[in-house]
Structure 1
Amino acid sequence: MTAPKPRGSASQALRRLRLRWLRFTQPVFGPFRARWNNSLMVRTMTITGLVTGAMIAIAGVYLLTSVSNDLYSSRRDQALQDSARATVQAQRMIDSFDQADRGGLQSLLTSVLRTVQDTSASQMIDIRRQQNQAPFPELSPVASTPSALGQAVSDELSDAVLVAEEPQYWQAVTFRGEDSKVAPGIVVGSSLKFPAGAGVFDLYIGYDLTDTSDTLSFVQRTLFITAAGMMLFIGLLVWVISRVVFRPIRVAADTSRRLASGEADARMPRQHDEHFDVLSDGFNDMADTLQARIQELDELSVMQQRFVSDVSHELRTPLTTIRLASAVLDGQRDTLEPGQQRAVEVLSTQVERFEALLTDLLEISRYDAGRVTLETEPTNLVHLVDEVVTALRPLSPSLIEVRPLGGYTPIDVDARRIRRIISNLVGNAIEHGEERPIVVTVDSNPAAIAVAVRDWGVGMTAADAEHAFDRFWRADPSRKRTLGGTGLGLAIAREDAAVHGGFLELWSELGLGTNFRLTLPRHDDVTNYLSPLPLVPEDVSEASSMKDTTGGWLRRPFRRSVRAPREGKA
């Protein structure tokens, strides 16, 4: 039994056929297709041109067909009337002949040919005796003028004249001259009855329609030239109208683009049209309101930055005094009671956290004010990561493994800031790793170096991952904290990465853990690069989410194995 085909096979075949057609026509129609998709003016002009061309073509075909039919019908009617007149005149001559004069029949045939020739407007005449009659030696069976008429008479026309149900018959033919020149024409056939037993003769008169064909060709050329002129005129008219109609739209687009690029004084001029003027006034009012709001926000931002900086600096002095007092009390801890010793310990811890918070606030204020300077030096990231992990291992209840797959070549970075990024990432893994192993991977490619910190802890939802780099945001504020923290670590880490021309990204899923990836370019002139490490860990299913915190899909040059080690083993 033959297995049924999948339902989607037909749609897949059509999709493949469509893709092949698009690939085949891309060199020819690709630029026009892109212009079609991006320009309303091109679509309007194209549709108008096609509709106008179709209307002109239909009108031209109708006019040409009507003129052709009228010319042909008129010429045919003239030929039939002329042939009928010549036939009647010839039959009268035959009827007036003396039937007893059998020897004069040949002269009668010649006279009939001459009479038809003189009466008819055509000089192509052929008179022939019908077949299937008794021989009549006194009379020649054929009399004709020198012409191509004899070859043009078909068997169908001869049979119709032989039956003679109508007075005359006609047929459209093609005449071929001695020089092989082809000419259209009409052949009209009728019968002549000769006396004295001579029998019945067929009379064929040919009419050349070359003049009618020339007239029709002239009409065709005239219609074609007229249609081409109309298409050019209509195309020019549509182009001019489109330019006029779409000019306000182009002005609006240009103004909005200038406004978006930072030209706060960009405004849309009036277009002398009631509807577009309403649009211009509304757009300009919106721009004024937006400019005012931006100025207010800039002033508030400057005030906020100055406030944070001033407060941080002002708090340094009392904080130093409190720290000195805390140090004095800590030095006398042995002489204090147990409750007082605990109070001194708490005071010392909180002073350290307060100092860390002031340091982070000052750093954020520097980034906001744009006063960050890098002190770069050649740095081996593998050694730097090893130093950070070595310093944090005593604070971690779980195993921390460093996997240096690459990145041994030193690069110029601010070692203090990179060390702060790694410390924040590893500290975050310790806080949320649920005492499971943590893997720190370093790798590189010709354009970039990357550091990934992977934990198998609680993870985060997609909504939480979008806010992970926000200031003072915590996924779960109620959790017990091992290393403290101010809620500014990841925000500062992303700023530190950005100031180096790199990026800090996050992948996380609830119950599967978290993976942070820091990617730095090797040189300042590197602007387009891919991270050598995958953002989504290899041990995660292909069906899992592959989005970063910005919602964009990441491209990976290749994938490496990053597996969770077993607990208790390196």
Structure 2
Amino acid sequence: MPIRRTLRVLRRYSRVLGRRFEHWSAPARRQWRRSLQLRVVALTLVASSLLVGAFGFFVAQNSARILLNRAQDEVASSMDNKVKYASSQLSIFFQARDRKLGPTIITTVGSLAADGDPADSGGSIVAIRADNFPDIDPVTSAKVNTDQLITDDLRKAVAQDGKVAEQVRTAEIGGRTIKFLVYGSPVRTSFGHVELYYLVPLTTEDSAANQIRTTVLVTGLALVILLGVVAGLVTRLVVLPVRGAARTAQRLSAGLLDQRMKVDGEDDLALLAASFNQMAANLQRQIVRLEEMSRLQRRFTSDVSHELRTPLTTVRMAADLIFSEREEFDPAVARSAELLQAELDRFESLLTDLLEISRFDAGFAALDAEHADLVPIVQRVSDRLTGLADRVGVTIELNVPETPVIAEVDPRRVERVLRNLVGNAVEHGEGRPVQITLASDDGAVAMTVRDHGIGLKPGEERLVFNRFWRADPSRARQTGGTGLGLSISAEDARLHGGWLEAWGAPGEGAQFRLTLPVRAGDRLLSAPLPLIPRDREPVIEAPVLAETDSAEVM
């Protein structure tokens, strides 16, 4: 139990530390993502640091090895001479117990030792030992404890094996740490052989190696900094025009069509700026021309719609009179009166849709939002379309909450959207049931209309909200639609700050989802109902939000 409790505490603290680190590092990570210049300079510094570090390490190691090799060659040459001299001085004695042997060894060591104090890096140390002759005491040229320099392994190699051996050792002498190159060699005499040890301080070589390392380090650091500065300057030369292009493109996208890039020189960046300016000028001409055409089209649509209202009203009055007296006419004339009445209804619906589209295009559409219960709206739409559903053999199924669903919406526009969706579902339902579902959460309400008819082909979910678009123009239509219903519905949803989305698959039907915020002006984050029906596995194609068609009404 204590181990588990400790693990839980550690995990909790690690999560806290992780969150704090993410919070502290967020500005740096954001700057790293946004700044191309920072990334280039940082990567240049890292790469150059690794290269310069590897090169400096190689140079320093080779320099130290060269200095050590040179010292070894010098000491080996000097060692040969010292061995010959010591051998000539000691070979006159035939017994190790000779009383004059000790003073001679001391004199020989003094002659072989160089002048200077080993603590001051000037003098070397010479020592003669005779481990095979206990009567001969070790003699050293300086008052230095050589036990830490002349190791047992070195003495064994020289005294027992009779070999010339060397090693590098470090010792504390005079309060300083000094590195010595220690050479040992047997000296052959008439009574046997003794060992000659030559200890040369490597202070000069160490100092030179340290100076080389310092020089390499300072030079490498200066080179890395210089490379970083150069990388920053070079990157700045490239990034500044790119940033200028980005700012100019943002201004162009915001509608400031007269913005242009500054062209300096004749290099590739200047060519980019000139090409960008040429593209911006062409776009400006095209946009101005399209805006003029769009303005003329909107004006034509609005004027024609308004001008047709007056004759339509007159024709409607005459048609209503004829329609009311059709029972007194011949059957052919009575049928013509009915057809006239139906086509006038369709023509009037088209004019109403055209006027509504012209209001959206002109920016005059307004939202009359109020707190309304959406359950009665759904039920009212279902009741009004029940007659049409019965004629085509479709059953409308409702799935609405028993409690009120209150949202701040424009009831007239919501009812129109739902009427268009249900009417289309009934028309394309192929005699199968149409389900209407209503749900809500704290931030949004959603209504889905599901049919099991012909469905939509891949890509058609992007087209259903275009004006005058129909999936199958040759189909016999029951509702007398104008081809503008879904376009108007998409505009109504966008006016609410909501979403109108479509999903469909061939032979599996389609589903439309209207999502609206509970409070007018709030931003939608999610929908309480899925777009893909629960009775259908998700497809690869992603759902598409309704988009306003760029083509205007002709």
For this structure pair, what is the TM-score category when the shorter chain's length is used for normalisation?
0.7 to 0.9
- Residues 313-328 of structure 1: matches in 2 within 5 Å? 313-328=306-321
1:359, 1:232 → 2: CA distance? 72
CA contact (8 A) 1:399 1:438 kept: yes
Q: Which moved more, 1:355-364 or 1:28-37?
A: 28-37
Aligned to 1:129: 130
Question: Is the alpha carbon distance of 1:407 and 1:480 closer, same or farther for their aligned partners in structure 2, counting shifts above 3 Å?
Answer: farther
Counterpart secondary structure, 1:187 = strand
Question: Is the alpha carbon distance of 1:193 and 1:292 closer, same or farther for their aligned partners in structure 2, counting shifts above 3 Å?
Answer: closer
Per the TM alignment, residue 343 of structure 1 is displaced from its structure 2 partner at its CA by: 0.9
1:551, 1:303 → 2: CA distance? 25
Aligned to 2:105: 109
1:44, 1:115 → 2: CA distance? 66
Counterpart secondary structure, 2:182 = strand
Per the TM alignment, residue 288 of structure 1 is displaced from its structure 2 partner at its CA by: 1.0
Aligned to 1:77: 73
1:43, 1:102 → 2: CA distance? 81
Counterpart secondary structure, 2:170 = strand
Question: Is the alpha carbon distance of 1:193 and 1:377 closer, same or farther for their aligned partners in structure 2, counting shifts above 3 Å?
Answer: closer
Aligned to 1:88: 84
Aligned to 1:200: 193
Aligned to 1:530: 526
Letter in structure 2 aligned against 1:351:
L
Letter in structure 1 aligned against 2:460:
D
184, 187, 190: which one pairs with 2:182? 187
Letter in structure 1 aligned against 2:278:
D
Letter in structure 2 aligned against 1:269:
K
Counterpart secondary structure, 1:396 = helix
Unpaired runs of at least 5, structure 1: 1-22, 553-570
Question: Is the alpha carbon distance of 1:272 and 1:294 closer, same or farther for their aligned partners in structure 2, counting shifts above 3 Å?
Answer: same
381, 386, 396: which one pairs with 2:379? 386
Per the TM alignment, residue 284 of structure 1 is displaced from its structure 2 partner at its CA by: 1.2
Per the TM alignment, residue 350 of structure 1 is displaced from its structure 2 partner at its CA by: 0.9
Per the TM alignment, residue 172 of structure 1 is displaced from its structure 2 partner at its CA by: 1.9
Q: Does 1:286 align with 2:279?
A: yes
Question: Is the alpha carbon distance of 1:359 and 1:153 closer, same or farther for their aligned partners in structure 2, counting shifts above 3 Å?
Answer: same
1:435, 1:164 → 2: CA distance? 110
Residues 252-306 of structure 1, C-alpha deviation per residue, up to 9 Å, x if partnerless? 2222222122211110101223322222222112111110110111111110000
Aligned to 1:270: 263
Aligned to 1:413: 409
2:490, 2:546 → 1: CA distance? 16
Aligned to 2:144: 147
Aligned to 2:424: 428
Question: Is the alpha carbon distance of 1:171 and 1:411 closer, same or farther for their aligned partners in structure 2, counting shifts above 3 Å?
Answer: closer
Per the TM alignment, residue 57 of structure 1 is displaced from its structure 2 partner at its CA by: 2.2
Aligned to 1:227: 220
Counterpart secondary structure, 1:320 = helix
198, 207, 218: which one pairs with 2:211? 218
Per the TM alignment, residue 101 of structure 1 is displaced from its structure 2 partner at its CA by: 11
Aligned to 2:479: 483
Counterpart secondary structure, 2:307 = helix
Letter in structure 1 aligned against 2:61:
T
Residues 311-344 of structure 1, C-alpha deviation per residue, up to 9 Å, x if partnerless? 0111111111111111221232232111111111
Counterpart secondary structure, 1:221 = helix
Counterpart secondary structure, 1:450 = strand
Q: Which moved more, 1:373-382 or 1:106-115?
A: 106-115
2:482, 2:330 → 1: CA distance? 31
RMSD of aligned C-alpha atoms? Answer: 3.0
Question: Is the alpha carbon distance of 1:348 and 1:125 closer, same or farther for their aligned partners in structure 2, counting shifts above 3 Å?
Answer: same
Per the TM alignment, residue 536 of structure 1 is displaced from its structure 2 partner at its CA by: 1.2
Per the TM alignment, residue 435 of structure 1 is displaced from its structure 2 partner at its CA by: 2.1
2:94, 2:444 → 1: CA distance? 121
2:478, 2:194 → 1: CA distance? 127
Question: Is the alpha carbon distance of 1:346 and 1:174 closer, same or farther for their aligned partners in structure 2, counting shifts above 3 Å?
Answer: same
Per the TM alignment, residue 99 of structure 1 is displaced from its structure 2 partner at its CA by: 9.0
Question: Is the alpha carbon distance of 1:271 and 1:400 closer, same or farther for their aligned partners in structure 2, counting shifts above 3 Å?
Answer: same
Q: What fraction of aligned residue pairs are identical, expressed as a percent?
A: 34
CA contact (8 A) 2:181 2:201 kept: yes
CA contact (8 A) 1:90 1:115 kept: no
Aligned to 2:7: none
1:543, 1:280 → 2: CA distance? 46
Aligned to 1:20: none
Per the TM alignment, residue 360 of structure 1 is displaced from its structure 2 partner at its CA by: 0.6
Aligned to 2:388: 395
Residues 4-32 of structure 1, C-alpha deviation per residue, up to 9 Å, x if partnerless? xxxxxxxxxxxxxxxxxxx99x9599877
Residues 517-544 of structure 1, C-alpha deviation per residue, up to 9 Å, x if partnerless? 111101124213211111111111x254
Aligned to 2:338: 345
1:152, 1:437 → 2: CA distance? 101
Aligned to 2:155: 158
Counterpart secondary structure, 1:379 = strand
Q: Does 1:376 align with 2:373?
A: no
CA contact (8 A) 1:396 1:430 kept: yes
Q: Which moved more, 1:85-94 or 1:461-470?
A: 85-94
Question: Is the alpha carbon distance of 1:98 and 1:399 closer, same or farther for their aligned partners in structure 2, counting shifts above 3 Å?
Answer: closer
Aligned to 2:488: 492
1:230, 1:162 → 2: CA distance? 53
Aligned to 2:239: 246
Per the TM alignment, residue 98 of structure 1 is displaced from its structure 2 partner at its CA by: 10
CA contact (8 A) 1:89 1:115 kept: no
Question: Is the alpha carbon distance of 1:182 and 1:345 closer, same or farther for their aligned partners in structure 2, counting shifts above 3 Å?
Answer: same
Question: Is the alpha carbon distance of 1:521 and 1:84 closer, same or farther for their aligned partners in structure 2, counting shifts above 3 Å?
Answer: same
